[in-house]
Structure 1
């Protein structure tokens, strides 16, 4: 095999370069030689990635510096301009957080750190729609579906984790799941992985834009009311007491007009304020001024430092719903009688709306291999993954049941539960105001990371360069933002966006590819049984049905 065609083995390059290429004559910190993905090519789509001549020449150049100097003296250290910058690797859950794990300071993590890193990466804004999903599915079926979908997605994630081990003839230590898909399905696997990855990423950015518009609007309204000493009186359905919940759309799908949502002392001033501060017409445009410049940064390292806000925001939401449940109490009515308008159904035919949300709520399949590479004890990967899924499922179950339970029946029906349950709290509620502003800041730090991932994957595949020019990057970012603005204006329903995105990207990464790869690997080893074929084919059919059902709801 020619030198330029040697398989890319980053781990061996790391060890060799760290031990031999960089002698620390002046106690300078040794740095590994990372191979950028732009240095990788393939002889054909069915073979493993190979090192290009450019990367091979760079490796020889560093070896040359290592051999300079007398044998009795330490080797010379390669200059900075010879050594490529360490690759920054980010993993993400589409509606969770983006987490940097690559670079110079990448270290092995204990099982506890690994478990909570998976939990933190998987948890996200989909938690805001879980109570609405339980309402759509029915209470009992909703709780059962959270449990079953957690088990199903965990098994499929396990199949993703084991997928590299099905390839015995090639070193796959540096591969991710899309590389495995390319090995089994050729160029179709590569481009379809890119397509569904774009669906999940762009869908996440759309949901973020809708939510940021919502949070920014309510934050501005709260500040305006407080500064102008406005006396707020809800015109829609509401409960009494200090811990109010409201029904902003009176149970139907059309929100109340903002001009009649509240009665103000100074109606002229409010009219002018509302013209400039409208939830769908103006506020989504204001976000462009803040976020468009941030999307054009070459590296999002600065924003990755705020990853801890994702954990803090989830913990705050859990504390918020716990406090509200204690103050308001639980309200269930399972008997059909004269109060049938407030009857809580245990099963509803619209349950696929919850399964679509849960597909994305439990989605981490595209980056689980990367996350578990840093586990100090890789033999515990399956256990740690299972514990992380258990924690995520319990978090979703807790928030969903709490919000569904404390939402009062008379005079409000459970149908009033919104796709973003924070909309069920009035704008002058201090705790919900804090939650909105907290989530707003957290999303503004994660949004550029998601945009960076879109740029790296799309432009990297098309141009072979993740930053071909400022014009390319600017054009891509304008298109992505425009889609978010349009959706925030005409379809600001995060539950609907999440379930469609989840069912679409989950069809490939959660259901189809893991099961197909497992069956193909068993068949090639002549170990595929009828039982295994039926089980995994049924999982694929469930994934297809999950996507089709979203269009029928």
Structure 2
């Protein structure tokens, strides 16, 4: 896209924006790039807090013979599914209102003491700082890249878990258009922009794809490898999402009870779900520093021309990132809303506006921009704007 004499092989998208739009394009694309990456890191912190809390809760209950009995807000039978927040905001409490604890070996005060020091929102997000803040300060992220294979194992286990649960629960879908009940599942809802906001961030990798793939041994296979990666990710999202939605028992529960983190719809005593949480927790602990490395490379390189100017600079940046994660995990641990707002915001600039403008400017300079092409690409920009605006009215 740049002049033939300019080597663009190592350019990230902020460099492309700088070439076409000057300093404004460079810094604005950097800001929106940080919205996506930091937004993903915030979601990771919320999820890690959730997984660590439930993992610790399972171990404590098992070690102290604490029995968990569910109220009517759940299904009966060998495969329990619960609605954790039937009447409250999912971010409002860290104790499931439909659960009552009774211990055969310890007094109630012991349970209360544990809950005081092991709270999903008040303590556990701060415990993660002790482990993750030092890891973020590593100069190189190659050590954590060695553990990326755990992501594959986690995904395979998650697919197997979802398949097993779906077989045990069966499908619960009702599509009676003219004789609908309160459990009717409509084919279309006005809340669909929530999905488009989430998907924008879920499939967004434009701002750091060069950084991720420049270390590949066979660079000529990058397009093929990236295409396969997108295909596998999309198939995984579809498989897990469709099966969980279809098998969620409605009746007696409602589909609206499905949590953004669907593992929360299973009791803390579920051993298979406990293993899934432990897998995902360890995977995220290894991936989180990689995301921090991408943030550091982009910010420090743009400001100082060096991705590791000093330990003090890196530490200050990491404290800001970790602080954002802790605050959101404590006051607003709703991963669905975090993903869709950050996704729609960064997606407006880096998915809809800047790539479209770069493409049209490049065609115009070559004298190949036609009116139908200009109208079509302008429509894409309007879609991005509408996608962002719609998030604030849902």
TM-score (norm 1): 0.66
User: Structure 2 CA distance, aligned partners of 1:298 and 1:388?
Assistant: 27
Larger gyration radius, structure 1 or structure 2: 1
Q: Which runs of 5+ in 2 are unaligned?
A: none
1:375, distance to aligned residue in structure 2 (A): 7.9
User: Structure 2 CA distance, aligned partners of 1:375 and 1:383?
Assistant: 14
Q: Residue 37 of structure 2 aligns with which residue?
A: 201
Where relative contact order (Cα < 8 A, 6+ residues apart) is larger, the structure is 2
Q: Residue 224 of structure 1 aligns with which residue?
A: 60
1:169, distance to aligned residue in structure 2 (A): 4.9
Q: Which runs of 5+ in 1 are unaligned?
A: 1-163
Return 206-215 or 193-202, whichever deviates more.
Answer: 193-202
1:279, distance to aligned residue in structure 2 (A): 0.8
* CA 1:222–1:431: 2 relative to 1, 3 Å: same
Q: Residue 162 of structure 2 aligns with which residue?
A: 321
1:327, distance to aligned residue in structure 2 (A): 1.1
- Contact 1:459–1:467 under 8 Å retained in 2: yes
Q: Residue 284 of structure 1 aligns with which residue?
A: 125
User: Structure 2 CA distance, aligned partners of 1:210 and 1:257?
Assistant: 12
* CA 1:507–1:167: 2 relative to 1, 3 Å: farther
| SS, match of residue 208 in structure 1 | helix
* CA 1:376–1:482: 2 relative to 1, 3 Å: closer
User: Structure 1 CA distance, aligned partners of 2:128 and 2:12?
Assistant: 34
User: Structure 2 CA distance, aligned partners of 1:274 and 1:285?
Assistant: 15
User: Structure 1 CA distance, aligned partners of 2:155 and 2:127?
Assistant: 26
* CA 1:251–1:409: 2 relative to 1, 3 Å: farther
Q: Considering only aligned residues, what root-mean-square deviation do their CA atoms show, in Å?
A: 2.2
User: Structure 2 CA distance, aligned partners of 1:529 and 1:488?
Assistant: 49
| SS, match of residue 262 in structure 1 | strand
**Is 1:434 aligned with 2:271?**
no
1:447, distance to aligned residue in structure 2 (A): 1.3
* CA 1:290–1:316: 2 relative to 1, 3 Å: same
1:423, distance to aligned residue in structure 2 (A): 0.7
Deviations 1:91-125 (A, max 9, x none): xxxxxxxxxxxxxxxxxxxxxxxxxxxxxxxxxxx
User: Structure 1 CA distance, aligned partners of 2:217 and 2:208?
Assistant: 14
Return 180-189 or 336-345, whichever deviates more.
Answer: 336-345
Q: Residue 89 of structure 1 aligns with which residue?
A: none
Q: Residue 241 of structure 1 aligns with which residue?
A: 77
Structure 2 counterpart of 1:258, from 79, 90, 95: 95
Q: Residue 302 of structure 1 aligns with which residue?
A: 143
* CA 1:339–1:231: 2 relative to 1, 3 Å: farther
User: Structure 1 CA distance, aligned partners of 2:177 and 2:170?
Assistant: 21
User: Structure 1 CA distance, aligned partners of 2:354 and 2:386?
Assistant: 16
1:203, distance to aligned residue in structure 2 (A): 0.7
1:377, distance to aligned residue in structure 2 (A): 7.9
* CA 1:276–1:206: 2 relative to 1, 3 Å: same
1:269, distance to aligned residue in structure 2 (A): 1.4
| SS, match of residue 468 in structure 1 | coil
- Contact 1:236–1:248 under 8 Å retained in 2: no
User: Structure 1 CA distance, aligned partners of 2:46 and 2:316?
Assistant: 21
* CA 1:532–1:395: 2 relative to 1, 3 Å: same
* CA 1:178–1:226: 2 relative to 1, 3 Å: same
User: Structure 2 CA distance, aligned partners of 1:327 and 1:483?
Assistant: 39
**Is 1:340 aligned with 2:181?**
yes
- Contact 2:94–2:121 under 8 Å retained in 1: no
